[in-house]
Amino acid sequence: MRTISLPDVPYGSTAVRPGWPDLPDSLRQAISARLGAPIVSARSAGGGFTRAFAAVVTTSAGVTGFVKAAPLQDPTADWYAREAFLTSRLPAAVAAPRPLWTMIDSDYFVLCLEPVDGHVPALPWSPPELDAALSSWATAAEALSTPDAELLEAGVPPLADILRNEMSWWSEVAAGRESMPRTAHGTVAPARLAHLARLEQELPGLVAGRALMHGDLRIDNVLIDGSGRAHLCDWTWPCLGTPWFDTVTLLVTAFASGLDADAYLSDWDAPAEGVDGALAALAGYWLTRADGGPSSASPHSRQHQRFSGEQALAWLADRRGW
């Protein structure tokens, strides 16, 4: 087993969110009315990197729901609206919370999802929980291999375009348009910059596809319920491409957990150069983002990005013998 690396903060405790009492009184009354009884408890979601309200709420009548709420002027409100649209149209085989209702009140967008009685997997991954997450994703990927037109009405970008426009940082550094991220010093990046840029540039051609991807398949977007089944949450950034890219993204934390991440990839028909390109692009994106100043989303965002970028780069170096 490889050395285990852990993030500074557990992924179930990264969020800094408003509590139920922090919402406008008129909004709290509207949510209670929509649920049919007063709210008696609100357990805030500990994972994630937004400052928007997200909590499992329970009414005096015993009704529960996972409620997300964001001011209309906040971009998060648009994200929640997109999530509501997409999750309401996912095939039944996809293990994901479905929306119960949405509303706009008190200048807030509110999304109520089916509650999942579960937990974010802890690091290091336990093999049974990682197996459950990959099993749920494999089933979802099969169901989404040919998404119907209605599911795509929200506007789903190709992964290849995202890679070219937002995840080509090593190429920018190599061309002299960006500086080497401070967080990359002490890694293999300075010595292997030309290799990283080449892998990054070749990647868009290896991920072309029409399958609907989750687009943000991280450990904190997985919930394991009491039966051991994994639920895939936060369908906010879907894209079109090849599902093995999402698998690579999820397995970065498996590598950090000392597990054989490459063995877990064996059933995904992922080309070796594609996997290496994905790790290069992810590392460049995360390490560049980690160089930013304090995040308005979560004080732990930069820690997550640094940890993820370092682990992606370490996995890539391990695969290529650097």
CB atoms within 10 A of CB 60: 13
pLDDT-based confidence at 7, cuts 50/70/90? Answer: confident
pLDDT for the residue numbered 1: 59
pLDDT for the residue numbered 65: 97
Radius of gyration of the chain (CA): 20
pLDDT for the residue numbered 302: 87
Q: Which domains does the chain have, with CATH numbers?
A: 11-113 (3.30.200), 118-320 (3.90.1200)
pLDDT > 90 fraction of the chain, expressed in percent and rounded = 87
pLDDT tens sequence across 59-99: 999 999 999 999 999 999 999 999 999 999 999 999 999 99
For the segment 263-287, the average pLDDT, to the nearest whole number, is: 97
Joined tokens for residue 158: 């190709």
pLDDT tens sequence across 233-245: 999 999 999 999 9
Predicted TM-score of the model (pTM): 0.94
pLDDT-based confidence at 252, cuts 50/70/90? Answer: very high
pLDDT for the residue numbered 46: 76
CB 15 within 8 A of CB 46: yes
pLDDT-based confidence at 103, cuts 50/70/90? Answer: very high
Give the span between the Cα atoms of 143 and 16, in whole angstroms: 34
pLDDT-based confidence at 30, cuts 50/70/90? Answer: very high
